[in-house]
């Protein structure tokens, strides 16, 4: 599995009352992401409110997505669990339903030591035989995984084969590149860093932006890949206001509001999260008009 | 319910394999905390690994503790849930089994706005009729509740009647005091701040330290309460190295290691958390010798 | 020289145009600080705009103050210089005119290593024979001196005999107390921390507040010293809004505005610093009415 | 004056005792920087220990450099002063000796408000008629100038025509680009960000690296300018370890140590700064072997 390009993140749509998952809407979101040229689909990420679903819901979304994507592109299932045993349980389930990989973020209550993080991934790896993308995002998970530890896990844990770096710190990517002699494939998970991360050697971009920007993220990726720097710069600055909006609050709120403006009712994020407020929606509307 | 003094936090003991809760050990821990002069018992807090238990385990620990304490002192049950609905479910359960209050920390994946935090507590309050202690600890829960919002919730949400402040920032306590004209009872949750928090007007101290220090925390509280500042200072500096050790890693790790040194096998924290390592245990041993 | 209590900081008054120092006003400010019960006077501190004066001005203010105070209380002259040679030059001058001590903050452009900080103080000490108060205030000087280094300099450098800690972090004071077994006299330089610092064992409080609050800071000090904790608490909360105002912008701005409201025209701070704006003055007026 | 490319920073060489400036060595450093393809020379910057020189020394270095460069490339003279009047004095001097521009960083003791920063630059501009490069580097100067304020000063203050951004935060550059519609020429001052800053649209790179890396920084600039992204990436990662070393302590220390290894004795930085220690020199030696 040699992944590059755009890894797209679907939201998890809820019915009006916020209780039921709306699989019909999920299906059409998945189609739209594939139409946008996504190179992989990653359900149950931060965007997919993975941490807000119960076990049964999580399993249903995972299975439905693998089914719906149906091998057209790889499916990378997101796992964000506080205990090792729960993370293992979900990883095994993901493999059992045919997911191509899992993307795992260690969620913390008590901060984890490097050894605790290492053991967490090691135990997951011991229980599956599909690739693991290590997802570093201290702003959500509360755990910060250093470049040194990321490279160590890539070198020493069998199924750890790629990294998603979401700190937004370009120096981390430099470190990943140097410490692994360019061997470790790292993906950018910070939307407003997309241009520079790709210029610095990222294998791709993990993003929910295609939900609202369709092919534009892919377009940026392709122009950098071809070395069209001037074009890439223009394309990037065009979508930057929207990328910044998407990450200004929580991502599912922004994406769900945007989908609604595009005629798709995916509900609002689950409580305590609230949906976008009127002034945010007005701003989003004006941004969407500009970039389309 | 007019609480002051020491609110003591029991650990949740696990059997060797880490899977089963050891209720016999829990029982003896609870007795020891009551013997140490605790003014209330707070199971299922950060110390109690609340966030690492499944629903069934959490319920059993809550019910067992209420039973064991048997109204000798109030029991304040800890809740740390990411979704509002789960937090409500646990709060209702706590009330149903006779808990005297709940202590609730909003755990985040996506950061919460002030309105989202407010609504979270409002909805919990709407569903119970026992007091809520709002627990602010951004280092674990990932959400930081400002003094302004804490006072607003105290003023506007029925069952919110007290606050546990664990940022370790004494200026927050000044703000709580000033903004509420001294009306809002706030408790210190940062062990190395105990002396100053009490001097600044805290109603009490929420702490796991009595597990290892027996009556010493209560002794500090009483000396400040009586205005014996010189004695309080001496007592504080005596226990400070131990307080600092307790919070240097995660609290359950330190307490469980200390209990073991005292002859009580409460296991180690649940994975991915690890137990104390040999050099930590050696340090703890020397600290325990000094303070006892 | 065994100092305790209130070390008071005069401003450096400027004439209308901001160019000339107004020594007549300085004289009356010094009298007022002595009348307020100050245990020492510290000209040319942060409050005295030390860093904004040229060498000649600095010397004149130092000499004038030593003269005016005339041994009624000790005079501690402030030095904030970027190069070692300039700091030495000023320290020698201070000694030559009869200053009782110098208070030295290492101002940085490039950050300093521990060894560089140590050598800086060592070289100053080698050139004088009066006591040095090490002044740690990273927010202004840009250098942060750890408690460990402060205690090491106290132990190893002859004239280093006391510390002014202005980070506002009470844990630093705990460290100073512990690492020196209570031997190192440390003073609190963070106004809103005054109550707790004194409760934690600070020898005194370095403050510009007596310029506006007269005997109130001394009153707080005395009540803590006598162990009247309840009274100290009341006194502290009474002056806290004013203390907070004083440090909300830069201190000379606030003090000069306050002096003006009291009928003393000390000008405004030197450019690029500006004087207080109307809304700040209005707030200050209302605070001064409340505390007096 | 339309500047792009590499703005090179000479050190200020001192004689053995650290007291005298060694102009012969300065002359040869300047020649080497011009030979390295520098598009402008900026004496008396952070690298040039501007803040550590007295007025007379500063003037001599400025005049000597303008003379020596002799219009082959523009000379941009660095000013880092705490008071407005001193900054104005130096700016006027720079103009009087034929400097092409001044680069001004507001050094703070008390933090500055936006209005204070604005007035500081306005007053300098009012007194000269050569361009001002606003230099933002909170890590040294202690003042952080927001992108919004930078663009406002570019729009409203006559001689403010360019910006040097040294926070290392690529998002600041995005903001400068967006807020000025790409009109404000900004230069990167953070060495390890060179590749990405240029990819994001920086006009050039302000750096001391040519002192040790000769044409390599220019080579990076040219490859990005031509859109040779793959080559630029290779070149960047080649010099990155050295760039990181240069900024790991203070820049003059690293450059002076490197010059010594190249056979040029420029002394060590002025006290309290120390020269490189043996282990740093050994590391530097090995890095220089690799990149040359």
Q: Span D135-157, mean pLDDT? A: 98
Averaged pLDDT score across all residues of chain A:
97
pLDDT of residue B1: 77
Q: Span C122-149, mean pLDDT? A: 98
8 A C-beta contact, residue C243 and residue C249:
no
Give the separation between CA C219 and CA A136, rounded to whole angstroms: 53
Token reading at B1: 């319910």
Residue in A90, A61, A10, A86 with CA at minimum distance from that of residue A266: A10
Note whether D199 contacts A201, CB cutoff 8 Å.
Answer: no
Give the separation between CA D87 and CA D80, rounded to whole angstroms: 7
Is the omega angle on the peptide bond into residue B272 within 30 degrees of 0, that is, cis? yes
Q: Give, as one character, the DSSP assignment of residue C156.
A: H
Note whether B272 contacts A112, CB cutoff 8 Å.
Answer: yes
Note whether A112 contacts B142, CB cutoff 8 Å.
Answer: no
Give the separation between CA C45 and CA C135, rounded to whole angstroms: 10
Note whether B199 contacts C241, CB cutoff 8 Å.
Answer: no
Domain that holds residue C199: 5-229
Taking only the tens place, the pLDDT of each residue in A6-52 is: 999 999 999 977 789 999 999 999 999 999 999 999 999 999 999 99
User: Three-class SS of residue A28?
Assistant: helix
Give the separation between CA B251 and CA B191, rounded to whole angstroms: 11
Closest residue to C227, CB basis, from B170, B200, B230: B230
- Decide if C201 touches B, using CB distance below 8 A: yes
Note whether C201 contacts B233, CB cutoff 8 Å.
Answer: yes
pLDDT of residue B18: 73
B231: number of Cβ within 10 Å: 16
Closest Cα in chain C, distance from residue B131 (Å): 28
C23: number of Cβ within 10 Å: 15
8 A C-beta contact, residue B30 and residue B68:
yes
For residue C82, list chain D residues with Cβ-Cβ distance below 8 A: 51-52
pLDDT of residue B161: 98
Residue pairs spanning C and D at CB distance below 8 A: 91
Closest residue to D109, CB basis, from C80, C116, C120: C80
Domain containing D35 — which CATH number? Answer: 3.20.20.70
Taking only the tens place, the pLDDT of each residue in A141-153 is: 999 999 999 999 9
Q: Span D268-283, mean pLDDT? A: 96
DSSP β-bridge partners for residue B165:
B136, B188
Closest residue to A110, CB basis, from B110, B117, B140: B140
Q: Span D236-251, mean pLDDT? A: 96
Give the separation between CA B144 and CA B105, rounded to whole angstroms: 10
pLDDT of residue D290: 86
Long-range contacts of residues C86-95, Cβ cutoff 8 Å, at least 24 apart? C87/C120, C87/C124, C88/C123, C88/C124, C88/C127, C89/C55, C90/C55, C90/C58, C91/C124, C91/C127, C91/C128, C91/C132, C92/C127, C92/C128, C93/C59, C93/C62, C94/C62, C94/C128, C94/C130, C95/C128, C95/C129, C95/C130
Note whether D230 contacts A227, CB cutoff 8 Å.
Answer: yes
8 A C-beta contact, residue D173 and residue D200:
yes
For residue D178, list chain A residues with Cβ-Cβ distance below 8 A: 237, 240-241
Q: Span C236-254, mean pLDDT? A: 96
Taking only the tens place, the pLDDT of each residue in B86-122 is: 999 999 999 999 999 999 999 999 999 999 999 999 9
Note whether A113 contacts B249, CB cutoff 8 Å.
Answer: yes
The verdict on residue C289 lying in a domain is no
User: Three-class SS of residue D141?
Assistant: helix
For residue B116, list chain A residues with Cβ-Cβ distance below 8 A: 272-274
Query: What confidence tier does D244 reach under pLDDT thresholds 50, 70, 90?
Result: very high
pLDDT of residue B118: 98
Closest residue to B177, CB basis, from C192, C201, C237: C237
In degrees, to the nearest 5, what angle opens at C-alpha D58 toward C-alphas D54 and D61?
Answer: 140
Token reading at B179: 């903004």
Taking only the tens place, the pLDDT of each residue in A170-228 is: 999 999 999 999 999 999 999 999 999 999 999 999 999 999 999 999 999 999 999 99
Which residues in chain B land under pLDDT 70? none
Give the separation between CA A148 and CA C183, rounded to whole angstroms: 42
DSSP β-bridge partners for residue B21:
B14
For residue B111, list chain A residues with Cβ-Cβ distance below 8 A: 139, 250
Query: What confidence tier does D35 reach under pLDDT thresholds 50, 70, 90?
Result: very high
* D232-269 burial: b if 16+ Cβ within 10 Å, else e: bbebbbebbbbbbbbbebbbbbbbbbbbbeeebebbbb
Residue pairs spanning B and C at CB distance below 8 A: 55
Q: Tell the burial category of B16 from Cβ atoms under 10 Å away from its Cβ (0-12, 13-18, 19+).
A: exposed
pLDDT of residue A291: 77
The order of strands in the sheet holding A132-136 is: A40-41, A5-8, A204-207, A186-188, A160-165, A132-136, A101-106, A76-81
Question: Per-residue pLDDT for A287 more than 90?
Answer: yes
Element (H, E) at D205: strand D204-207
The verdict on residue A58 lying in a domain is yes
The verdict on residue C252 lying in a domain is no
* Nearest residue of chain B to residue C244 (CA atoms): B171
Averaged pLDDT score across all residues of chain D:
97
For residue D51, list chain C residues with Cβ-Cβ distance below 8 A: 82, 109
Note whether B174 contacts C200, CB cutoff 8 Å.
Answer: no
Closest residue to D200, CB basis, from A178, A195, A230: A195
Residue pairs spanning A and B at CB distance below 8 A: 91
* Nearest residue of chain B to residue A137 (CA atoms): B109
Residue in B250, B238, B219, B247 with CA at minimum distance from that of residue B292: B238
Token reading at C159: 């004239």
Q: Span D257-266, mean pLDDT? A: 97
Is 0.90 surpassed by the pTM of this model?
A: yes
Dihedral angle, C-alpha A274, A275, A279, A283, nearest 10 °? 130
Domain count, chain D: 1
Q: Do chains D and B touch (3 or more CB pairs under 8 A)?
A: no
Give the separation between CA C53 and CA A220, rounded to whole angstroms: 54
Give the separation between CA C212 and CA C255, rounded to whole angstroms: 7
Question: Per-residue pLDDT for D292 more than 80?
Answer: no
In B141-185 the beta strands, taken as DSSP E runs, fall at 160-165
Give the separation between CA A262 and CA A239, rounded to whole angstroms: 17
pLDDT of residue B87: 98
For residue D230, list chain A residues with Cβ-Cβ distance below 8 A: 227
pLDDT of residue A248: 94
- Decide if C220 touches B, using CB distance below 8 A: no
Closest Cα in chain B, distance from residue C190 (Å): 11
For residue C52, list chain D residues with Cβ-Cβ distance below 8 A: 82-83, 109
Give the separation between CA C49 and CA C190, rounded to whole angstroms: 17
The verdict on residue A284 lying in a domain is no
Taking only the tens place, the pLDDT of each residue in C23-50 is: 999 999 999 999 999 999 999 999 999 9
pLDDT of residue B290: 86
What ipTM is given for this predicted complex?
Answer: 0.96
pLDDT of residue C1: 77
């Amino acid at each position: 599995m040699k992944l590059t390009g755009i890894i797209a993140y679907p939201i998890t749509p809820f019915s009006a009352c916020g209780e039921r998952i709306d699989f019909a809407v999920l299906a059409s979101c998945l189609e739209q992401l594939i139409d946008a040229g996504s190179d992989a689909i990653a359900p149950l990420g931060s965007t997919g409110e993975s941490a807000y679903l119960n076990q049964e819901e999580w399993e249903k979304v995972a299975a439905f997505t693998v089914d719906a994507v149906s091998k057209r592109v790889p499916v990378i299932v997101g796992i964000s669990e506080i205990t090792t045993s729960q993370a293992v349980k979900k990883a095994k389930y993901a493999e059992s339903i045919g997911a191509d990989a899992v993307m795992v973020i260690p969620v913390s209550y008590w901060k984890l030591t490097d050894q605790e993080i290492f053991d967490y991934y090691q135990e997951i790896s011991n229980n599956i035989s599909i690739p693991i993308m290590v997802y570093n995002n201290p702003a959500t998970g509360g755990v910060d995984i250093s470049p040194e530890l990321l490279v160590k896990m890539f070198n020493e844990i069998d199924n750890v084969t790629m990294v998603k770096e979401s700190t937004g710190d370009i120096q981390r990517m430099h470190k990943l590149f140097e410490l692994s002699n360019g061997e470790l494939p790292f993906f950018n998970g910070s939307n407003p860093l997309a241009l520079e991360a790709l210029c610095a050697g990222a294998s791709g971009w993990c993003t929910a932006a295609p939900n609202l920007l369709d092919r534009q993220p892919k377009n940026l990726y392709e122009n950098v890949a071809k070395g069209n720097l001037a074009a890439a710069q223009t394309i990037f600055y065009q979508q930057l206001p929207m990328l910044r909006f998407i990450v200004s609050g929580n991502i599912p709120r922004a994406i769900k509001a945007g989908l609604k403006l595009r005629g798709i009712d995916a509900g609002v994020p689950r409580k305590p999260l609230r949906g976008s407020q009127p002034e945010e929606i007005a701003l989003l509307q004006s941004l969407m008009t500009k970039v389309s």
